[in-house]
Chains A and B, each alone.
Chain A
Amino acid sequence: MGKYIVKRVGAALFTIFIAATITFFIMNLVPGDPFMSDKAPSEEVKKALEVKYGLDKPLIVQYKNYMVNLLKGDFGVSYKLQKNRQIVDIIKESFPTSAKLGAYAILFAVTFGIPLGCIAALKRNKWVDNVIRVLSTLGISIPGFVVATTTMIIFTVNLKWLPTSGLNGPSSYILPVFTLGFYPMCYIARLMRSSMLESLSQDYIRTAKAKGMSNFIITFKHALRNSLIPVITYLGPMIAGVLTGGFVVEQVFNIPGLGRYFVKALNGRDYMVIMGTTIFLATLIILMNLVCDLLYKIVDPRIKLGEE
Chain B
Amino acid sequence: MAENNNKNLLEVKDLEVSFFTYAGEVKAVRGISYELKPGEVMGIVGESGSGKSVSSYALMGIIPEPGKVIGGNIIFDGKDITNLKEKERLKMRGKDIGMIFQDPMTSLNPVFTVGNQINESLKKHTDLNKEQRKARIIELFRLVGINQPEKRINQYPHEFSGGMRQRVMIAMALACNPKLLIADEPTTALDVTIQSQIIELLKDLKSKINMGIIFITHDLGVIADICDKVAVMYAGNIIETGSIDEIFYEPKHPYTWGLLKSMPKLNAEEHERLIPIEGNPVDLINPPKGCAFAPRCKHCMKICLEKKPPAYNISEGHDILCWLPIKDEYEREVKNNGKSE
CB pair B109 A210 closer than 8 Å: no
Q: Which residue of A lies closest to B99 (CB)?
A: A210
- What is the CA–CA distance of A204 and B121 in the complex, to the nearest angstrom? 14
Given the interface pairs A206-B101, A302-B158, the reply to whether A211 lies near B124 with Cβ below 8 Å is: yes
Q: Whole-angstrom distance between the alpha carbons of A235 and B91 in the complex? A: 39
B37 interfacial by beta-carbon distance below 8 Å: no
Q: Bin chain A's interface residue count.
A: 20 to 34
Q: Which of B102-150 contact A (CB under 8 A)?
A: 103, 106-112, 117, 120-121, 124-125
Contact B108 A207 (CB under 8 A): yes
- B158 touching A301, Cβ below 8 Å: yes
Q: Which residue of A210, A225, A302 is within 8 Å of B93 (Cβ)?
A: A210
Q: Shortest distance in angstroms between A100's beta carbon and chain B's nearest beta carbon? A: 33
Of the listed stretches A85-93, A144-152, A212-220, name the one at the interface; the rest are far from the partner chain. A212-220
Residue A226, interface by CB 8 Å: yes
Given contact pairs A210-B60, A211-B93, A211-B172, A204 touches B110 in the complex (Cβ within 8 A)? yes
Inter-subunit contact A212/B125 (CB<8 Å):
yes
A57 interfacial by beta-carbon distance below 8 Å: no
Contact A208 B109 (CB under 8 A): yes
* B93/A204 in contact, CB under 8 A: no
CB neighbours of B112 from chain A (8 A):
221-222, 225
Whether A214 pairs with B90 at a CB distance below 8 angstroms is: yes
B residues in contact with A210, CB < 8 Å:
60, 62, 93-94, 98-99, 101, 173
| Size bracket, chain B contacts | 20 to 34
A-B residue pair count with CB separations less than 8 angstroms: 76
B156: Cβ under 8 A from any A Cβ: yes
The CA of A299 and the CA of B111, in the complex, are separated in Å by: 7
Say if the beta carbon of A158 comes within 8 Å of chain B.
no
B110 engages A226 (CB within 8 Å): yes
B62 contacts A206, C-beta separation under 8 Å: yes
Most central of A210, A214, A301 by chain B CB within 10 Å: A210
* Residue among A203, A226, A302 with most chain B CB within 10 A: A203
By beta carbon, the residue of chain B nearest A228 is B111
Partner of A203, one of B92, B107, B120, B124: B107
In the bound complex, do residue B92 and residue A204 qualify as a contact, i.e. CB atoms below 8 Å apart? no
- A300 partner residues in chain B, CB cutoff 8 A: 110-111
B169 within 8 A of A: yes
Interface residues of A in 157-211 (CB under 8 A from B): 202-204, 206-211
* Closest A residue, CB atoms, query B169: A207
Residue among A208, A222, A302 with max Cβ neighbours from chain B (10 Å): A208
Q: Does B229 contact A (CB under 8 A)?
A: no
Contact partners of A202 in chain B: CB under 8 A: 106
Identify 6 residue pairs between A and B in the complex whose beta-carbon atoms are under 8 Å apart, listed by A's number: A202-B106, A203-B107, A207-B108, A207-B169, A212-B94, A300-B110
B residues with a Cβ closer than 8 A to A are 60, 62, 64, 89-95, 98-99, 101, 103, 106-112, 117, 120-121, 124-125, 156, 158, 169, 172-173
Known: A203-B103, A204-B110, A212-B92. 19 other contacts (CB 8 A): A204-B107, A206-B62, A206-B101, A207-B101, A207-B108, A207-B169, A207-B172, A209-B60, A210-B99, A211-B94, A211-B172, A212-B89, A212-B90, A212-B91, A212-B95, A212-B121, A213-B124, A217-B120, A226-B109
4 closest residue pairs by CB, A with B: A212-B93, A212-B94, A211-B94, A203-B106
